Amino acid sequence: RTLHTKRHAYLSFAVLLALVAVLIGAGFAVQAPWPILGNALLISVVRLLAAYVISLILGVTIALLVSLSSWGDDLLPLFDVLQNIPSFALIPVFTILLGTGTAMIVTFAATSIIWPIMFYATSAMQTVRQEEQDAATIFGATGFKRVWSFLLPLSFPALVTGSMVGVSIGWEAVIGGEIITHAQGIGTMLDTAGAAHDSGILTVGILLLLIFVFLISRLLWIPLLKKSRQYAD
């Protein structure tokens, strides 16, 4: 198993080096403005991170309220209706309230990311077996301690899965929001390159985005998925 893990790590590293080499070669070939591309990607990443943190806090809070309250089941249909509202239909509302800058894009992305986190966490909390709940009570897990030491660890695998789904949707929301509002970011840069028929910058920008997503998957999501299996066991 250790040998398999090392081989997998070496293979992942080799793939990453190959992707970076392709990206650098393509960049030199089309004379891509690396500082501008890097800054645009960084702006979009910061927006996505802010939206994710907001969604995680709100999603877990709502999941706890739904799971612990006597009227939680009555709220689930309402949240189901809210999540089925086309997210891009909310952009005019957010634009009127927040303008066309970062605050609007972060809010818009958060409204897309929150739902998988909230529903996955709610499902995990509501399917706890009675004997597990009784055991937690016997060992003194009540009040805030029950939430922190029992429900949240129990929901960890669901939160990881919900976060992966939510962040993938969040990327679409951030880039789409930037394109629609023309706010600075990787989305606007790609849109501008496409409108100018600059296939070189467009190609390098997409490659840069794909490599970053690959890095996040390898360095964050895969380790968290492995860790979540321990909680599931």
pLDDT in tens, 26-50: 666 666 677 777 888 889 999 999 9
If pLDDT is split at 50, 70 and 90, which confidence band does 173 have? very high
Residue 181's contacts (CB-CB under 8 Å, 6 or more residues apart) are 91, 95, 100, 101, 104, 105
Q: Give this prediction's pTM.
A: 0.83
The pair of structure tokens assigned to 25 is 């070669």
HEC string of 138-198? HCCCCHHHHHHHHHHHHHHHHHHHHHHHHHHHHHHHHHHHHHHHCCCCHHHHHHHHHHCCC
Average pLDDT for the chain: 80
CA distances in angstroms from 213 to 33, 161, 173, 206, 217, listed in the order given = 20, 16, 15, 11, 6
If pLDDT is split at 50, 70 and 90, which confidence band does 82 have? confident
Per the CB < 8 A criterion, the answer to whether 121 and 162 are in contact is yes
Residues 144-155, mean pLDDT to the nearest whole number: 68
Residues 158-177, mean pLDDT to the nearest whole number: 92
The pair of structure tokens assigned to 120 is 């996955």
The pair of structure tokens assigned to 142 is 């009540």
217: exposed, middle or buried (Cβ count in 10 Å: 0-12, 13-18, 19+)? middle
Please give the helix or strand (H or E) that residue 137 lies within, else none.
Answer: helix 130-138
- State residue 53's pLDDT score: 96
